[in-house]
Amino acid sequence: MQRASALRSHAGQSPGRRRGIRAAALAAAGVMALAACSSAAGSDSTSAGGDDGKGASGPAKIAITPASDTSAVPVDKTVTVRVGSGKLTSVKVIAPGPGTLDGSFSKNKGSWTSGAELAPGVTYTVEASATGSDGKTVTEHSSFTTAEPSKAQTFVGEYNVDKGSTVGVALPVSIVFNKPIHDKAAVERRLSVTASPVVEGAWSWMKDRNGKDRIDYRPENYWTSGTKVTLRMNLDGVDAGGGLYGTQTRKIDFTVGSAVVSTVDVVKKTMTVTKDGKKLRTLPVSTGKKTFETWNGTMVVLSKVPTIRMDSSTVGIFGPDAYDLGEVKWDVQLTPSGTYAHAAPWNEGKFGVVNGSHGCIGMSTKNAKWFYDQLHYGDPVTVIKSKETVATNNGYGDWNVDWAEWQAGSALK
């Protein structure tokens, strides 16, 4: 894995002094003598074993620093390209992650100096061309590798889609970073999501439930079934600020599956499930009782497990309302805070009649098994007529934010 930093502007290096050779006629016993002459300090002309194009005709001679095949080059090292007997016509310094390194030519194009810090742990290639005073073009190639960053200087992002997977229509692309991102705009520029058919989407920053920086991408509305999506993370070389550099280059392709959409009405105590716009079933359910109301708004399926132990202490419920239900079957997780749709045989008789849970969506074992079989990672479950709306960072509550507000969460706005 390559590691790199973003390109940061810093003070440019002043061009070196030039030295030229010029002829001077001296009338001394008919003998012609040569005199060496140094230019004044601060000249922007640079030579590499020759003059700056104003002297005798000759081929261009290009010199590149750091020298080719140099390793462990400090990131604060300046890249310089100089030419003698000619002028530089192009200079390109690139690395796979950071991309092209910025720089500038001297006024007479006798030299080029980088104007941004190098990225750590990557190999740069240099290609420089110059036209000599003989009118011929010369090209030189070089490469060098920068010093590896320490672990404390690097960050990574954990993403929520697997290569080649099929996901539900409501799954946003989500990346959680293991360290604070100070320059969010620099990181966001290195992230992209493309889709076929094309759909407009946007990134939006937030804090994850664990306090870590997180960025999600979603379209204005759910993905269309059958859409092919590609996430690209070109984070090698990105400077996130605070001395942190990215260490990832990823390309993840995934597909959007059937549109399985569930709507829970807490007043009617029903859940209606549709697939690709066609109603499959309406199930009687029991949702959260008073003071434990089920979250309102759209939640997204995070996982499915056939059996799980449900103990209220794991979600911070103690005292008179504490419970330990033992092994619970056909569990569809909707939030990391503990919202599930699952079998609740102990509430038999309440389904469609009374809301008696601690916030989960309960149903008969038979209906729970059927629901479990229909739902997949990324499918939406929307609760209506309840109270408090699920937080955006409590799982994927992204769809509860209106489109204008969502777009405003981009660091590039």
Q: What is the CATH number of the domain that holds 160?
A: 2.60.40.3710
Residue 294 has pLDDT above 50, yes or no: yes
387 in the same domain as 278: yes
Pairing mode, strands 154-155 and 244-246: parallel
Q: Compute how many other C-beta atoms are within 10 angstroms of the C-beta atom of residue 207.
A: 12
Calculate the alpha carbon distances from 20 to 14, 49, 151, 208, 209 in Å.
19, 9, 48, 62, 66
What local confidence, expressed as pLDDT, does residue 4 receive?
36
Q: What is the pLDDT of residues 12-22, one digit of tens each?
A: 333 333 333 33
Contacts of 231 (CB under 8 A, 6+ apart): 159, 161, 173, 191, 192, 193, 217, 250, 251, 252, 254
Q: What is the pLDDT of residues 228-257, one digit of tens each?
A: 999 999 998 788 999 899 989 999 999 999
Nearest alpha-carbon partner for 43 in 51, 33, 32: 51
CATH number reported for the structural domain that contains residue 110 in this entry: 2.60.40.3780
189 in the same domain as 234: yes
Q: What is the mean pLDDT of residues 118-139?
A: 93
- How far apart, in whole angstroms, are the C-alpha atoms of residue 357 and residue 288? 4
- How far apart, in whole angstroms, are the C-alpha atoms of residue 127 and residue 121? 20
Task: Note if 342 is an active site residue.
Answer: yes
> What angle (nearest 5°) sits at the alpha carbon of residue 216, between those of residues 2 and 264?
145
In which region does residue 163 sit, left (phi positive, over 0), alpha (psi from -120 to 50) or beta (all else)? Answer: beta
CB 49 within 8 A of CB 63: yes
What local confidence, expressed as pLDDT, does residue 359 receive?
93
Please indicate, yes or no, if residue 407 is contained in any of the structural domains.
no
Q: What is the mean pLDDT of residues 120-139?
A: 94
Please indicate, yes or no, if residue 136 is contained in any of the structural domains.
yes
Calculate the alpha carbon distances from 64 to 12, 106, 159 in Å.
16, 15, 40
165 in the same domain as 139: no
270 in the same domain as 383: yes
395 in the same domain as 266: yes
Residue 23 has pLDDT above 70, yes or no: no
Complete DSSP assignment for 255-274 = EE---EEEEEETTTTEEEEE
Q: What is the pLDDT of residues 337-373, one digit of tens each?
A: 999 999 999 999 999 999 999 899 999 999 999 999 9
236 in the same domain as 330: no
Give the type of residue at 46. Answer: T
Q: What is the mean pLDDT of residues 315-335?
A: 81
37, 342, 358, 376: which is the annotated catalytic residue?
342
- How far apart, in whole angstroms, are the C-alpha atoms of residue 9 and residue 6? 10
Nearest alpha-carbon partner for 283 in 169, 373, 366: 366
Please indicate, yes or no, if residue 409 is contained in any of the structural domains.
no
277 in the same domain as 199: no
- Answer with the one of 241, 257, 273 that is the final residue of a domain: 257
Q: Compute how many other C-beta atoms are within 10 angstroms of the C-beta atom of residue 313.
A: 10
Nearest alpha-carbon partner for 298 in 272, 325, 326, 264: 264
Q: What is the pLDDT of residues 176-227, one digit of tens each?
A: 999 999 999 999 999 999 999 999 999 999 999 999 999 999 999 999 999 9
Higher pLDDT, 57 or 113: 113
Residue 300 has pLDDT above 70, yes or no: yes
Residue 302 has pLDDT above 50, yes or no: yes
394 in the same domain as 291: yes
Please indicate, yes or no, if residue 322 is contained in any of the structural domains.
yes
- 3 state SS of 94: strand
In sequence order, the β-bridge partners of residue 399 are none
- Answer with the one of 146, 175, 201 that is the final residue of a domain: 146
In which region does residue 297 sit, left (phi positive, over 0), alpha (psi from -120 to 50) or beta (all else)? Answer: left
Q: Which domain holds residue 173?
A: 152-257
Range from 6-10, 29-33, 247-251 that averages highest in pLDDT: 247-251
Chain-wide mean pLDDT for the chain? 86
What pTM, to 2 d.p., does this model score?
Answer: 0.74
170 in the same domain as 142: no
Q: How confident is the model at residue 315 (pLDDT cuts 50, 70, 90)?
A: low
Q: How confident is the model at residue 413 (pLDDT cuts 50, 70, 90)?
A: confident
What local confidence, expressed as pLDDT, does residue 228 receive?
98
Please indicate, yes or no, if residue 1 is contained in any of the structural domains.
no
Q: How confident is the model at residue 26 (pLDDT cuts 50, 70, 90)?
A: very low
- 3 state SS of 305: strand
Residue 332 has pLDDT above 70, yes or no: yes
Q: How confident is the model at residue 5 (pLDDT cuts 50, 70, 90)?
A: very low
In sequence order, the β-bridge partners of residue 94 are 100, 125
- How far apart, in whole angstroms, are the C-alpha atoms of residue 413 and residue 408? 6
301 in the same domain as 333: yes
- 3 state SS of 194: strand
Number of domains in the chain: 3
Residue 312 has pLDDT above 80, yes or no: no
Q: What is the mean pLDDT of residues 101-107?
A: 96
201 in the same domain as 84: no
- 3 state SS of 187: helix
Q: What is the mean pLDDT of residues 172-179?
A: 98
76: DSSP letter: T
Please indicate, yes or no, if residue 405 is contained in any of the structural domains.
no
Here the contacts of 339-348 (C-beta below 8 Å, separation 24 or greater) are: 339/294, 339/295, 339/299, 339/390, 339/395, 340/308, 340/310, 341/271, 341/285, 341/368, 341/371, 341/375, 341/381, 342/308, 342/310, 342/368, 343/367, 343/368, 343/369, 344/286, 344/368, 347/286
Q: What is the mean pLDDT of residues 297-301?
A: 98
Q: How confident is the model at residue 47 (pLDDT cuts 50, 70, 90)?
A: very low
CB 233 within 8 A of CB 190: yes
37, 141, 358, 360: which is the annotated catalytic residue?
360
What local confidence, expressed as pLDDT, does residue 50 receive?
40
Please indicate, yes or no, if residue 384 is contained in any of the structural domains.
yes
What local confidence, expressed as pLDDT, does residue 22 receive?
35
Residue 97 has pLDDT above 90, yes or no: no
- Answer with the one of 146, 181, 215 that is the final residue of a domain: 146
Q: What is the pLDDT of residues 246-289, one digit of tens each?
A: 989 999 999 999 999 999 999 999 999 999 999 999 999 999 99
In sequence order, the β-bridge partners of residue 145 are 123
Task: Note if 360 is an active site residue.
Answer: yes
119 in the same domain as 188: no
